[in-house]
Amino acid sequence: MTIKASRATISDVAKAANTGKTSVSRYLNGEKHLLSEALLERIERAIAALDYRPSQMARGLKRGRTRLIGLIIADITNPYSVNVLSGIEAACREKGFTPLVCNTNNELDQELHYLDLLRSYQVEGIVVNAVGMREEGLSRLQQSALPMVLIDRKIPDFACDVVGLDNNQAATTATEHLIEQGFEALLFLSEPLGTVNTRQERLKAFRHTAARYPGIVAQNEETPLHETERLDNILRQFHQQYRGMRKAVISANGALTLQVARSLKRIGLHWGADIGLLGFDELEWAELAGVGITTLKQPTWQIGYAALEQVVKRIEGHEETVREQVFSGELIVRGSTAR
């Protein structure tokens, strides 16, 4: 039977170096100038021989700092979330924090569980991608006294820093592009609006922009992500209703764009030839699908990085007024919106 070796402690190091725990603690905390050269050398040899690794959690708690940041992500399979996480992780590395990532999978029980768990780990702040979170989970967030930054979604009546896309600019750019390409009937498709400000703001900018152009037909529909029959009927009716006009669909996010592409295939319509298609969020497969799908790319890495920067400022005691940081999107034109 193999017996697992016990982990070396600071007492073991002190004993091996023939000194006290106070001296070893000074060494570990960067106070080496208080120790003699001979003692430094003995401590270094002892640490190497014992393969001693101090508990960062214990050291942090002793100093009142864990340097942990909690990240609550509604759906880690969403490409948007993955790219945002990459920016957050880069900023954590640069600023000396460790991220604890919690994927709620859009489940209320998981949202509440992770909120409690992060508090128990004594994280110093939280970054939340709240799209998809239920009202009860959002309410629990508001009760937390931790420094917090929201990504991509505001919570009604909750004063909190937010980082995300300039939805007005992005939706205006997308709508104007379709009109300039000669499309006459436009359909803005989103998941149910509810209280999700990103969907509301994109729809508002779409309507406002289309209204500036006489003769342009502008409709909008809401559909749950996986109700395929409803989506098929919406697209089929839109195509039939405006027969003889150039038609295009704007999809409000990447997950919905995939469902729209599948639906168009099911009902026998080809983007680029039979109908235009433009989707929010850049998708890796967009350039490979048929003639390519035009997208509105979000600077997701920059959004994640900025969110972590802002929560660190709050942790460090910055008391500036609550701010909303927005980034411009980039239109990537492909064959789905060609003339």
- Residue 209, number of CB atoms within 10 A of its CB: 21
Per-residue pLDDT tens digits for 134-175: 666 666 766 777 888 999 888 777 788 999 999 999 999 999
Statement to judge: residues 161 and 226 lie in one domain: no
**Mean pLDDT (whole number) for 23-31:** 79
Statement to judge: residues 175 and 244 lie in one domain: yes
Give 110-115 contacts, CB < 8 A, sequence gap 24+: 111/72, 111/136, 111/137, 111/140, 112/136, 112/137, 112/140, 114/70, 114/72, 115/72, 115/140, 115/141, 115/144
**Residues 302 and 310 sit within 8 Å (Cβ to Cβ):** no
Statement to judge: residues 306 and 288 lie in one domain: no
Statement to judge: residues 289 and 309 lie in one domain: no
Residue 228 has a pLDDT of 95
DSSP per residue, 48-72 = HHHT----HHHHHHHHT---EEEEE
Rounded Cα distance between 292 and 273, Å, is: 12
Rounded Cα distance between 248 and 213, Å, is: 15
Statement to judge: residues 239 and 149 lie in one domain: no
Statement to judge: residues 288 and 320 lie in one domain: no
Per-residue pLDDT tens digits for 317-327: 888 888 899 99
* Amino acid identity at 22: T
Q: Indicate whether 3 pLDDT > 50.
A: no
Structure tokens belonging to residue 309: 């920067």
**Residues 104 and 110 sit within 8 Å (Cβ to Cβ):** yes
CA-wise closest residue to 12 among 43, 58, 57, 56: 43
Statement to judge: residues 32 and 85 lie in one domain: no
Per-residue pLDDT tens digits for 82-110: 889 999 999 999 998 999 998 887 676 77
> Residue 59 domain-assigned?
no
> Residue 75 domain-assigned?
yes
Statement to judge: residues 285 and 311 lie in one domain: no
Rounded Cα distance between 251 and 316, Å, is: 40
> Residue 3 domain-assigned?
no
> Residue 316 domain-assigned?
yes
Statement to judge: residues 92 and 106 lie in one domain: yes
Statement to judge: residues 193 and 289 lie in one domain: yes
> Residue 62 domain-assigned?
no
> Residue 2 domain-assigned?
no
Q: Indicate whether 28 pLDDT > 80.
A: no
Rounded Cα distance between 127 and 69, Å, is: 7
Rounded Cα distance between 45 and 42, Å, is: 5
Expressed as residue numbers, the domain containing 263 is: 167-297+331-337
Rounded Cα distance between 147 and 68, Å, is: 12
Give 14-22 contacts, CB < 8 A, sequence gap 24+: 14/46, 16/45, 16/46, 16/49, 16/50, 17/42, 17/43, 17/45, 17/46, 18/42, 19/43
Statement to judge: residues 171 and 263 lie in one domain: yes
Residue 143's domain is classified under what CATH number? Answer: 3.40.50.2300
Q: How many domains does the chain have?
A: 3
CA-wise closest residue to 162 among 147, 146, 151, 172: 151
Q: b/e map of 306-318 (b: 16 or more CB within 10 Å)?
A: bbbbbbbbbbeee
Residue 56 has a pLDDT of 55
> Residue 100 domain-assigned?
yes
Residue 59 has a pLDDT of 52
Statement to judge: residues 185 and 247 lie in one domain: yes
Q: Indicate whether 115 pLDDT > 90.
A: no
**Residues 291 and 77 sit within 8 Å (Cβ to Cβ):** no
Per-residue pLDDT tens digits for 216-268: 999 999 999 889 999 999 999 999 999 999 999 999 999 899 999 999 999 99
**Residues 313 and 155 sit within 8 Å (Cβ to Cβ):** no
> Residue 61 domain-assigned?
no
**Mean pLDDT (whole number) for 21-45:** 85
